[in-house]
């Protein structure tokens, strides 16, 4: 597992390649009128004392609904627990997106938490 993880965390506000690709996908959805607004690391949610969760993207759909989008190459146990706890505490739709391999059609697969 350690070999799969990045050697260091990126600075706050910096995207990895998968997050940048997903942001490009959000831009296309925004141009199509499906999304009104989005912001990378735009929310910081308190889960407990000294425990926070920052979704990769805060997204406002054209309907006005706010969603929290997480982009993952792979899941760690603590990341999965945090998004589940956040989904229980906050009235947002939490969605996780994983990049699909080109041989599987590319794009992103989606998992919903509520």
7-41 confidence digits (pLDDT tens): 556 677 788 999 999 999 999 999 999 999 999 99
Question: Does the pLDDT of residue 6 top 90, yes or no?
Answer: no
Kind and range of the H or E element at 29?
Answer: helix 17-31
Whole-model pTM? 0.86
Closest by Cα among 94, 93, 92 to 80: 94
Question: Is the Cβ–Cβ distance between 56 and 71 less than 8 Å?
Answer: yes
Please tell me the predicted confidence (pLDDT) of residue 50. Answer: 95
Task: Work out the average pLDDT over 92-104.
Answer: 93
**Start-to-end Cα distance in the chain:** 28
Mean pLDDT of the chain: 91
The larger pLDDT score, comparing residue 56 to residue 4, is at 56
Lowest mean pLDDT across 14-18, 40-44, 57-61? 14-18
> Domains in the chain and their CATH numbers?
15-113 (3.40.1350)
Lowest mean pLDDT across 33-42, 89-98, 99-108? 99-108
């Amino acid at each position: 597992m350690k070999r799969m993880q990045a050697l260091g965390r990126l600075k706050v506000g910096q995207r990895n390649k998968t997050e940048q690709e997903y942001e490009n996908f959000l831009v296309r959805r925004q141009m199509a009128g499906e999304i009104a607004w989005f912001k990378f690391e735009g929310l910081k949610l308190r889960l407990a004392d000294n425990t926070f969760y920052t979704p990769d993207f805060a997204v406002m759909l054209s309907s006005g609904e706010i969603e929290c989008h997480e982009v993952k190459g792979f899941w760690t146990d603590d990341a999965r627990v945090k998004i589940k706890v956040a989904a229980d505490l906050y009235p947002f739709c939490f969605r996780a997106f994983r990049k699909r391999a080109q041989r599987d059609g590319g794009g992103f697969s989606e998992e919903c938490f509520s």
